[in-house]
């Protein structure tokens, strides 16, 4: 068996986690944006780093309202979310120089949403050749940068 060492994850593994409530709502309730990976708080929605990113710089735009579907959000919130997606992609482009983006919503568990109860938009930077056999064969993602480094780079550029 091959091993992939990820010592930076031990802090998370040892942390006091609960399975109750929404992780997005919980992050919002905290005042420490850095430890909760919140990049920006807007009027109706916020931008946060994905704690389990597909690639370095993977952000999510999330409404403050805990809703499952877009149609349950008011037009002002939906508009702000799209403006934050635009800003997020511009910031990521400046910091990481990706060759493209995946921007999307997995609405509902059947669509692949890991947190289906609270709608969110993923902004994922992409590069030619950034996929390989490891996620398929080894069920493992390789992310070359620690989250605190990613947070600092994106927060500074924001």
Q: How many CB atoms lie within 10 A of CB 51?
A: 13
DSSP letters for 53-122: -SSTT-EEEEESS--SSGGGS-HHHHHHHHHHHHHHHHHHHHHH--SEEEEE---SGGGT-SSTTS--EE
Q: Kindly list the catalytic residues.
A: 120
Strand partners, 49: 59
Instruction: List Cβ neighbours of 5 (8 Å cut-off, separation of 6 or more).
Output: none
Instruction: List Cβ neighbours of 120 (8 Å cut-off, separation of 6 or more).
Output: 24, 60, 61, 62, 63, 105
Q: How far is CA 42 from CA 24, 63, 125, 141, in A?
A: 14, 9, 22, 31
């Amino acid at each position: 068996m091959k091993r992939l060492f990820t010592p930076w994850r031990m802090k998370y593994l040892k942390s006091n986690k609960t399975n109750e409530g929404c992780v997005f709502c919980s992050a919002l309730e905290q005042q420490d944006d850095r430890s909760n990976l919140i990049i920006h708080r807007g009027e109706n929605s916020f931008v946060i780093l994905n704690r389990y990113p597909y690639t370095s710089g993977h952000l999510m735009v999330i409404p403050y309202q805990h809703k499952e579907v877009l149609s349950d959000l008011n037009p002002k919130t939906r508009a702000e979310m799209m403006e934050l997606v635009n800003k997020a992609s511009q910031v990521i482009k400046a910091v990481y120089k990706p060759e493209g983006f995946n921007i999307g919503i997995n609405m509902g568990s059947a669509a692949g949403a890991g947190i289906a109860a609270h709608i969110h938009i993923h902004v994922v930077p992409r590069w030619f050749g950034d996929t390989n056999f490891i996620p398929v064969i080894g069920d493992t993602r390789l992310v070359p940068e620690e989250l605190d480094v990613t947070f600092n780079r994106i927060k500074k550029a924001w």
